[in-house]
Each structure stands twice: as C-alpha cells, then as structure tokens.
Chain A
C-alpha cells in the first residue's frame, strides 16, 4: 500500500511540475552554452517623458519611477556603464517583455529598446527564484520554484525507495550510485 501511494505521489508531482522541470532544464542548457547572450535589442523607440528628478536622486528611485510609468513591474538592473549625470540606463528583465530603458535627463525623453524575442533569453529570464521578491507575480513563481525543489528531494528519496523494492535492480543500481558519487566527488575536488 505504502509503495503504491509513494509511486502515485511521485508520478502526480512529476505530471504537475513537468513544465517547470522542462523550463529549468532547457534554461540550464541555454545558460551553459551562453545562448541568451546572443539576443540583441530591437531598434529604439523614444517618447517624451515629463517627470523630472532632482540632481543627486538615487538611481534606483529614478529607475523604479521610470519603469512604473512605463507599466513595467519586475526586477531590473542599472547599467552603470551607460549611466551618468545625463542619462540612466535600466535593464528590465522579463521572459516576454525584457527591455533596455534609457532615461535621457536633459532631453526629457525615454528610449525603449525591446529585447529580440529569443527562446534562450526567455528561458534564462525564467531561471530564477523570487520568494523574497517585492513583486507578487515573482513571489508566486518563487513558490512554484520551492515546490519544484522540494519535489526534487522527494523524487530522490521516493526513487531510492522504489528502486530498493525491486531486488533484481540492486546490482546495477548500486553501480549507478557509486559511479555518480565518484564522478561528482572527483569533479568537485578539482574545481
């Protein structure tokens, strides 16, 4: 009975979380091969921007205000190499709406360059947690990521239990465990 319940929980968890498993596996491949770095930006569009900021205003305060005015809510980075007294450049990260936003202080304009739609970049933008995020959608995503991580631990232990119940597979199973642990330990030791 216990074994059957374990198998069912193992399976139904896998079926529900299957999209996240695929997202994180494919995004790992994309990151490992730097596929996300190939995406450039589409030609810029510029708009007048009337909000002004006092000299010396914190860059993050400027960034959050500009992004909020553009209806872009989510994580971002300030591109300090492209930011100075005359402009602030913000990289807004999102799987589908990523963009580089430049606020041109003197001209009172914002320049919006949307990231080219590429699968690798979108996947890498999804390869994130977010349970501590200030953004509700990211907290929900973080919750799913917690569920995935906890399920991975469950899959390991339920998988071990299910393997142990099939005696003919013990020999090859032990060999697999030993090879895996050996390769892991050796590689980590030399990193």
Chain B
C-alpha cells in the first residue's frame, strides 16, 4: 500500500477524474482494445457470418414491397413483424429473387431471407463467436435504429469524450510533474511527429 503524495487540489481532482472515468468505462476500453487487435489482424481472425448458420424459423409469410421500392423500409417492416428491430443491412438477391436482411446483433447475428414470390421466410442464427461479438460491438454506432442502439451510441459518445479527457488530463498531470518534463516533452514530440508523418503518406 502506498500513500498518495500531498498535492495541490487541482491535480488531485484531475487525477481522480482520470481514474474514476477509467474504472467506470473499463468494459468499453477492453472491448475496443481487443476488437481493434482482432480487426487489425483480419487474416489471423478470418471467418464470416455464413459459417454454421442454423435455421430458427422456416414459415409462410406475406409482405408487399411498397410502390416506392424502398428495400430498407420493407426490411424494417419484416423485422418489426419478427420482433427483431434494430441495426441491419439489406440486399436484394437476384439469383433466387430473395430479400436478404442481415440483423446485426453483436455475437448473435440473424440472417432473414424472404422469397416474396413463394411467400416463404427463413430466419437463420449464427452461433456465438467471441470474435464477432467484439467486432460487432466495435462497429456498432449511430443513432436511431432502435432504443438500445441509440443508448449504445450515447455511450460511444461518452467513451470518445472520455478518451479525449484522458489524453488532456494525462498531459496536464504530466506537466505538473516538473522532473518528467524533459523526457515527457521528447516523448510527446516523437509521438506527434510519427503520427503526422504517417498521416501525410497514407
């Protein structure tokens, strides 16, 4: 156990904010860090959603495409009928004239295929995979797809703001420690120059 050094009030408050933000948002930091490693090494962690899909529902179903031929609105109607509203991608598959909806639930993705001419609808579920759970959470953003997705988007904003707060409060706390200013200053400069050089050639 160590005792905290006596310090002026401002750095102490900043240190506390830096720490409590980190403790509270730790699950998101862990998810973003691990999923970043997974996504950065795609060849190592290959594998798509199409592997081992299991049929959950195969039934008769009727839904008409609106005159404006808006596939997204059609997909939302079908998802609502199935109680599966939320973030999704949609495509029209020409080969067998089917509407294919990918319901993006991190780690529990569903593929809904609807053949309007045959009046048949199939829902398939992907088995849980940690890799897809992590990357699914990482890529989930944006407001409005559902109440839970909007809540997640608010949290994404909070984590992003916290990252900015950690960077700025970290810089402040470093600056308050006079003995580390030289090496810290060199480190900041090295990081900034490396980042700027990479951005310039990307």
A pairs with B? yes
* Contact, CB under 8 Å: B106 / A188: yes
Chain A minimum-CB-distance residue to B31: A184
* Contact, CB under 8 Å: A176 / B24: yes
Determine, out of A39-47, A50-58, A80-88, A124-132, the stretch whose residues face the partner at the interface: A124-132
Please report the total number of A residues contacting B with Cβ < 8 Å.
71
Please report the total number of B residues contacting A with Cβ < 8 Å.
71
CB distance from A76 to the nearest CB of B (A): 13
Residues on B with beta carbons closer than 8 Å to the beta carbon of A62: none
CB distance from B92 to the nearest CB of A (A): 13
Q: Considering residues B16, B39, B137, B198, which has the most beta carbons from chain A within 10 angstroms of its beta carbon?
A: B198
A5 within 8 A of B: no
A161 CA / B90 CA spacing, docked (Å)? 46
* Contact, CB under 8 Å: B36 / A149: yes
A141 CA / B151 CA spacing, docked (Å)? 31
Q: Which of B11-45 contact A (CB under 8 A)?
A: 16, 19-20, 22-30, 32-34, 36-37, 39-43
With A3-B2, A16-B190 given, is the CB distance from A179 to B157 under 8 Å? Answer: no
Determine, out of B60-68, B116-124, B180-188, the stretch whose residues face the partner at the interface: B180-188
A61 CA / B143 CA spacing, docked (Å)? 38
* Contact, CB under 8 Å: B27 / A181: yes
Residues on A with beta carbons closer than 8 Å to the beta carbon of B106: 188, 191
Number of A-B contacts defined by CB within 8 Å:
192
Selected from A15, A145, A165, A188, the residue in CB contact (under 8 A) with B2 is: A165
* Contact, CB under 8 Å: A132 / B41: yes
* Contact, CB under 8 Å: A180 / B23: yes
* Contact, CB under 8 Å: B36 / A129: yes
* Contact, CB under 8 Å: B163 / A21: yes
A48 within 8 A of B: no
* Contact, CB under 8 Å: B170 / A18: yes
* Contact, CB under 8 Å: B23 / A131: no
B164 within 8 A of A: yes
A3 CA / B195 CA spacing, docked (Å)? 29
* Contact, CB under 8 Å: A15 / B171: yes
B194 within 8 A of A: yes
The interface of chain B, by Cβ under 8 A from chain A, is 1-2, 4, 16, 19-20, 22-30, 32-34, 36-37, 39-43, 86-87, 105-106, 137, 140-143, 146-149, 151-153, 155-157, 159-161, 163-164, 166-167, 170-171, 173-174, 180, 183-184, 187-188, 190-192, 194-196, 198-202
5 cross-chain pairs, A with B, having the tightest CB-CB distances, nearest first: A129-B40, A25-B163, A152-B33, A19-B195, A190-B148
Some 14 contacts from A to B, beta carbons below 8 A apart, are: A8-B180, A11-B170, A20-B191, A22-B164, A26-B164, A32-B160, A130-B40, A138-B202, A149-B32, A156-B33, A177-B24, A177-B26, A191-B106, A191-B149
